[in-house]
Chains A and B, each alone.
Chain A
Amino acid sequence: MTTSDEDRRAQLLGYFYEESAEGLEAMESSLLEIDIAQPDSEQINAIFRAIHSIKGSGGSFGLDDISRFAHHAETLLDEIRAGDRQLTKKGVDVLLHSTDCLRDMIEAMRDGKESDQDRVEEITGQLLEMLEETEERAPEASQSLSVESAIEPASASPNGTKAEWEIRFAPHRHLLRTGNEPVRILRELESLGELKVTADPEELESLDDMDPEDCYLSWDLSLCTDASEEVLREVFAWVEEDCDLEIRCLSKTVESVTEDANADSNTAEDAKVEPSKAAAAKSSGKSGARAASGGGSIRVSTEKIDALVNMVGELVITQAMLGEVGDNFDENRLEALREGLGQLARNTRELQDNVMRIRMLPVSVTFNRFPRLVHDLSQKLGKRVELVLIGEATEVDKTVLEKLADPLVHLIRNSLDHGLEKPDQRVAAGKSETGKIVLNAFHQGGNIVIEVGDDGGGLDPDRIRAKALKNGLITEEDNPTDSQLFDMLFQAGFSTAEKVSDVSGRGVGLDVVRRNIRELGGTVAVDSTKGVGSTFTIRLPLTLAILDGQLVRIGSETFVIPLISIVESLQIKPEFVNVITGSAEIYRLREEAIPIVRLYDLFDVLPDRQGIDNGLLVVVEGSGSKSGLLVDDLLGQQQVVIKSLKDNFGDVPGLAGATILGDGTVALIVDIAGLIELAKNRIPEASVKTGEVSRSCEAVAEPAESDSAAQGDSQ
């Protein structure tokens, strides 16, 4: 195989993986939705087609295990489809397992791994068992197979010996209309040996009576060939009912059919015992894996592309217009220039929107796997659950969506396992037996919000408080609000579940959820009412490439604060500033105490002024806690394109990246969660390690002011 062949195979396999995944997903959701008592025939058909496609394509790619497995499931579905078999709950379950198994097999193939053979055999066994349950079906299936295999060896050519054949071929008049061409058949015979053709014009009618679509000729043929009679008949196989055919052997010599003729037939059954073929399939699976990991593809609706093409068209028009203005420019044309630039700005903005939309996928892509999850888990846990999906068409960036799947799975498991009560408990609490989990996605401003809500028992602040005390997160004197308590659930190692189940609740989890969401530049919070239910709310930017930012100035530097994390901005009133233990400054905002972070100090920038009285405070929220960032000036809000710093500087704590502003200067983008972390670690350091402080003091050149003690004095 040449490299380009391999590449192409990998590319084709890419299509196969993608479409199988889609097919299996469709199959799964149909199986979950289907009404077992009265199955909708179109749904059955859809399920059948999905498995049928996998069998066909899989076989064509030489993925014989997959094709064979799919074949069993297909047989079962075919019987259901034909009405020969009743759909049962057990059947649905076996088919669901088959879906999983096929998915695993295909994914293993894609990733170049071994699939779990025991599992494959187990599920194959279940399928076969089901198939055998209806006795009259099984023999028929094996019969049709044996018919096939009986034909195969016969059609292969025997070795060496030639014979003389006489063939009379008289097509019926309508033969041409079946798409068959007698000349093609004659040519094919010619390819088998020496052929003599004599046309018989007996039936020809006069030109006036002749229908040009009819066939009037017939032929007498004599053929000397080493091909068997079966091979000759095979040539006529497609026309035998549309012609009169006589085949006679004149001089028959030895005829033998070799045993190994069987090897030519490429039925799935043969491939099973052919190790070389299996090995080939395996290695090709690996090359497919390379392609899959090499760069994901995305399907874009033509509508989106059309919009893009349209925009580019308008851009070209604007460019032409501006070009014309520039050609012979004088002051009178200033208005035209201004208009052109305005149009350019509009085009750019729309183009940007449209390009961004290309990467957008509906959340249904991820949501669709949850009905299955809920179905399986609720059975395992003995709970009754209704899953409600809202806003599935809401679109979000593909990368965001992919990384969102795991946190969502976790939250749903969490709701099912810890949130919802068992049916009897629910009844006792005066609720309906069936619990409800609502997954709701919607756009809000430039963000996407996803809520996972349940109508279960809700969170118990007292229990969380007790646990937090035990873990040393709070002291007896602390009096955290409910929402502060709830937020502690996102701390590592914090679980109030009394017993660890295999569904969820090992104390690792919500902290991972928060970390994942934070990596996407988003936030997650929980709200709950005891006895009524809980709702987890995830807020995410629509895309990772562009950010809505608030530009702020510190001295001569501009920084970008993500708008999503800003709660409010205010002017500091000195009477609300408190200094705690000589080092940390706290701002009292209504009923909350918010630590003040002096950004100039963290970033070693020379500020306009270092006193905080009447300064500007940007209150931000990240990883569940609020902080006030002290800045010199608020400059304005704008969308900025995020440029990564990773390649050149690695991970810089407190910074999410950089961007280039309209005037060409570079502005750093602040990572709020990281920044808060950074500030937290810094405060105790500042009070203890004076060396560290003095370094930053030198940088700002006014040591007395920025010293932590001096800060305390200034109050």
Chain B
Amino acid sequence: MANVLIVDDSVSMRKLVGGTLEDAGHQVVEAEDGVVALGVAKQKSVDLVITDVNMPNMDGLTLVEELRKLGTYKFTPILVLTTETDPERKSLAKSRGATGWLVKPFDPALLLATMKKVLN
């Protein structure tokens, strides 16, 4: 069981992803944008971050960068979950320290499998 931080500006997306994870026995914390997520990340210890890219206030790629600057989040796996498929954006995400890139609409089984992988 893992503590997962889900970052997405869409409530329904958060609930959808959150529900999938909770069913699999994980604990979920939600944040509506990068700024809130960063605040949560500083307060709570989280095993995995799943973030959207396009969000107001702070986008997902900036969030990845900021999280990697925090001592406690150097190695925490961060999955990007987005509708974007642009390879350039993918490699930008990677260079900023994202662990994986999943494309919406997401397949719950694939998401769980990926989580399992990155969480060992």
Contact status A57-B16, CB under 8 Å: yes
Closest Cβ neighbor of A299 among chain B residues:
B11
B98-120 vs A: 1/0 string, CB under 8 Å?
A: 11110011110000000001101
Contact status A179-B97, CB under 8 Å: yes
* Distance in Å: Cβ of A28 to nearest Cβ of chain B: 17
Closest Cβ neighbor of A20 among chain B residues:
B12
Known contacts A12-B16, A60-B105, A183-B120: A46-B56 contact under CB 8 Å: yes
Known contacts A61-B16, A181-B118, A183-B120: A53-B94 contact under CB 8 Å: no
User: In the assembled complex, which residues on chain A have CB atoms less than 8 Å from the CB atom of B9?
Assistant: 49, 53
User: In the assembled complex, which residues on chain B have CB atoms less than 8 Å from the CB atom of A11?
Assistant: 15
Q: Does A196 contact B (CB under 8 A)?
A: no
Contact status A57-B78, CB under 8 Å: no
Q: Does B13 contact A (CB under 8 A)?
A: yes
Q: Which of B13, B94, B117 makes the CB contact (< 8 A) with A184?
A: B117
Contact status B13-A49, CB under 8 Å: no
Tell me which residues from 43 to 76 in chain B have a Cβ below 8 Å from any Cβ of chain A: 52, 54-56, 68, 74-76
Q: Does A527 contact B (CB under 8 A)?
A: no
Tell me which residues from 3 to 41 in chain B have a Cβ below 8 Å from any Cβ of chain A: 9-13, 15-16, 19
Q: Does A176 contact B (CB under 8 A)?
A: yes
Q: How many residues does chain A have at the interface if contact means C-beta atoms less than 8 Å apart?
A: 39
User: In the assembled complex, which residues on chain A have CB atoms less than 8 Å from the CB atom of B10?
Assistant: 19, 53, 56-57
Contact status B52-A180, CB under 8 Å: no
Q: Does A59 contact B (CB under 8 A)?
A: yes
Complex CA gap A19/B8 in Å reads 12
Q: Does A293 contact B (CB under 8 A)?
A: no
User: In the assembled complex, which residues on chain B have CB atoms less than 8 Å from the CB atom of A15?
Assistant: 11-12, 15
A235-268 vs B: 1/0 string, CB under 8 Å?
A: 0001001000000000000000000000000100
Closest Cβ neighbor of A46 among chain B residues:
B56
Closest Cβ neighbor of B96 among chain A residues:
A178
Q: How many residues does chain B have at the interface if contact means C-beta atoms less than 8 Å apart?
A: 37
Closest Cβ neighbor of B52 among chain A residues:
A56
User: In the assembled complex, which residues on chain A have CB atoms less than 8 Å from the CB atom of B118?
Assistant: 179, 181, 184
Known contacts A49-B56, A179-B78: A59-B83 contact under CB 8 Å: yes
Contact status B75-A48, CB under 8 Å: no
Q: Does A220 contact B (CB under 8 A)?
A: no
* Distance in Å: Cβ of B1 to nearest Cβ of chain A: 18
Tell which of B68, B83, B117 has the most Cβ of chain A within 10 Å.
Answer: B83
Q: Which of B16, B54, B68, B100 makes the CB contact (< 8 A) with A49?
A: B54
Q: Does A357 contact B (CB under 8 A)?
A: no
* Distance in Å: Cβ of A234 to nearest Cβ of chain B: 11
Contact status B85-A61, CB under 8 Å: no
Contact status A144-B86, CB under 8 Å: yes
User: In the assembled complex, which residues on chain B have CB atoms less than 8 Å from the CB atom of A463?
Assistant: none
Complex CA gap A244/B87 in Å reads 21
Contact status A266-B105, CB under 8 Å: yes
* Distance in Å: Cβ of B3 to nearest Cβ of chain A: 16
* Distance in Å: Cβ of B88 to nearest Cβ of chain A: 10
Q: Does A89 contact B (CB under 8 A)?
A: no
Closest Cβ neighbor of B120 among chain A residues:
A184
User: In the assembled complex, which residues on chain A have CB atoms less than 8 Å from the CB atom of B106?
Assistant: 60
User: In the assembled complex, which residues on chain A have CB atoms less than 8 Å from the CB atom of B98?
Assistant: 179
Known contacts A53-B10, A62-B105: A12-B19 contact under CB 8 Å: yes
Q: Which residues of A contact B (CB under 8 A)?
A: 8, 11-13, 15-16, 18-19, 45-46, 48-49, 52-53, 55-57, 59-62, 67, 144, 147-148, 176-181, 183-184, 187-188, 213, 238, 241, 266
Q: 15 A–B contact pairs at CB < 8 A?
A: A15-B12, A18-B11, A45-B56, A53-B13, A55-B83, A56-B105, A59-B83, A60-B106, A144-B86, A148-B85, A177-B74, A179-B98, A179-B99, A181-B77, A241-B94
Q: Which residues of B contact A (CB under 8 A)?
A: 9-13, 15-16, 19, 52, 54-56, 68, 74-78, 82-83, 85-87, 91, 94, 97-101, 104-107, 117-118, 120
Q: A57-B10, A181-B75, A181-B118 are in contact. List 9 more A-B contacts (CB 8 A).
A: A12-B19, A13-B12, A49-B54, A49-B55, A61-B12, A177-B74, A179-B78, A183-B120, A213-B74
Closest 3 CB pairs of A and B: A59-B105, A16-B12, A179-B99
